[in-house]
Structure 1
């Protein structure tokens, strides 16, 4: 255990001593600031003075869509829940979250998890392949630690980096959001439809849930990039392939959504937020099914990495 901790510490030092790592953090903070400034100064003025009328109009439109029929049952349930939630808002005087508000800004920062994913993919792609490229893999393997511990330390160090970026994302987002939009909406609740009734939840818990669900794609794509880096010893291949699939996977699933087998593709299951704030990409999919499929892919990726790294000949 002590050896593993020392190995993880060593990998962390390699990551954080690189100037590129701090450039990534700088880019992330810059993007947060840009999103905040664009939201505050360039987006159209948003006001909650007549929010009741807007909610009523939305309910009328949702009811018309329901009456037209011809939609999947999951989509029908979504529109019916929206109607119930809107009626609760009007009855209890709870306005929707404004875009130009603290919580509106914080919710928009969830999209920047994809940037964290990209940066972590870059780290994961190079953390194993780089040892072969620089010829330092032989020096690493002559240590008393086993190959399994060496690979595990690199894998864990990668996700420590990802967690540090996510924590930085939240902290700087909250600071920028409070500075630009104030904290007047701090106590505003989030409404969810649960067990046939509307429930008020703390916005912090809702934001944490969104960050957690959106980080599933980070976990899977980084593990995939780590596997490619380990198998092919090429960081460029791992980065290119992982980023290509990250940006095109969901579009591919959407194109093939009419086929039953598409639900077994990895990218049909990584977007778990679809079960909370929308409808599944493929009708009939459920959260437990997606979690099961993700677990299978996760095990396959890691087993391939471990087996091939154990058998890798580094004499050449």
Structure 2
């Protein structure tokens, strides 16, 4: 299996487009860091000495919202309880909200680039199998004394490895850029999370790593779907077009439906954002982390079964 993956990895990096993708990620990080630095120079952050008074006023609004809206909506009740707990914790422990840019705030800002990584993963996944048919190399690939399932698995693992490499590149590069341009915060800045009804302090570095990983779940699922379409229909254009549409529109459409129909919780995009279970509110009342993980595994298994079933039994003699 290792040799198959190395072979696929080598073929992937022989394409100029792959290097372009890495170059674009690097340019995006440099561009965001440059713009952020310019903005801090143009508009220097100023210390807000009235932050406690402002939080107190926001607390009044949150408590009113909890009383009026929270009693009829369990999700909004959780939202207001979280906001109230976080604000009260900041006031009690004299933890002013951050105003100055630092390496960790920039790394969080660079999370926006993950969407572009999703696009690149979709393009690679969509062409992994279909390109073999379009280039006529599929017969040369299948005459080797290796099972079709191992060949397909090596291609899928290469897609995952490609995505992980891009994600690691983004995280490392944004950390380096943030450190060079903004430096470390003057004092340790923990991340405040609302978990099991109480506020807990977490390491900001560990929190950012978790955020990057959780933010990649939706692009992992969409890339897996693109890979499945490529294996089933042998059409990279269909795989890219449909996957990109769902990547950008799937979540928005799902959220619109979530306010009206409870069955929306069974849609893939209602379950891809697992961060809501650690630091937020689920889109539909009654949804749990276990439920969302189960739905993700179900969709993942469906995509893989279709991919392997069709690819291993397809006649490529024609």
Given the two structures, how large is their TM-score scaled by the length of structure 1? 0.94
Q: What is the CA–CA distance in structure 1 between the aligned matches of 2:315 and 2:17, rounded to whole Å?
A: 30
Q: Are the counterparts in 1 of residues 251 and 269 from structure 2 also a CA contact under 8 Å?
A: yes
Q: Summarize deviations over 1:254-295 as a string: whole Å, max 9, x none.
A: 221111111111111112122233222222211111110010
Q: What is the CA–CA distance in structure 2 between the aligned matches of 1:275 and 1:199, rounded to whole Å?
A: 14
1:312 matched residue in structure 2: 314
> Alignment partner of 1:115: what SS?
helix
Q: Summarize deviations over 1:193-212 as a string: whole Å, max 9, x none.
A: 23333221100111111112
2:68 matched residue in structure 1: 68
Q: Are the counterparts in 1 of residues 104 and 175 from structure 2 also a CA contact under 8 Å?
A: no
Q: 1:102 Cα shift?
A: 2.2
Q: Are the counterparts in 2 of residues 102 and 185 from structure 1 also a CA contact under 8 Å?
A: no
> Alignment partner of 2:200: what SS?
strand
1:106 lines up with 2:97 in the alignment: no
1:40 alignment partner, one of 37, 41, 57: 37
Larger deviation, residues 46-55 vs 86-95:
46-55
Aligned length, in residue pairs: 313
Q: What is the CA–CA distance in structure 2 between the aligned matches of 1:185 and 1:272, rounded to whole Å?
A: 31
> Alignment partner of 1:42: what SS?
helix
Q: 1:45 Cα shift?
A: 4.4
Q: 1:185 Cα shift?
A: 4.8
Cα-Cα RMSD: 1.7
Given the two structures, how large is their TM-score scaled by the length of structure 2? 0.93
> Alignment partner of 1:199: what SS?
strand
Q: What is the CA–CA distance in structure 2 between the aligned matches of 1:115 and 1:152, rounded to whole Å?
A: 24
Q: Are the counterparts in 1 of residues 264 and 270 from structure 2 also a CA contact under 8 Å?
A: yes
2:273 matched residue in structure 1: 271
Q: Relative to structure 1, is the Cα distance of residues 234 and 191 closer, same or farther in structure 2, using a 3 angstrom cutoff?
A: same
Q: 1:312 Cα shift?
A: 0.9
Q: Summarize deviations over 1:27-65 as a string: whole Å, max 9, x none.
A: 111111222233332375443432333332322221232
Q: Relative to structure 1, is the Cα distance of residues 221 and 193 closer, same or farther in structure 2, using a 3 angstrom cutoff?
A: same
**Unpaired stretches in structure 1, ≥5 consecutive residues:** none
1:22 matched residue in structure 2: 19
> Alignment partner of 1:288: what SS?
helix
Q: Are the counterparts in 1 of residues 218 and 272 from structure 2 also a CA contact under 8 Å?
A: yes
Q: Are the counterparts in 2 of residues 39 and 99 from structure 1 also a CA contact under 8 Å?
A: no
> Alignment partner of 1:256: what SS?
helix
Q: What is the CA–CA distance in structure 2 between the aligned matches of 1:8 and 1:216, rounded to whole Å?
A: 22
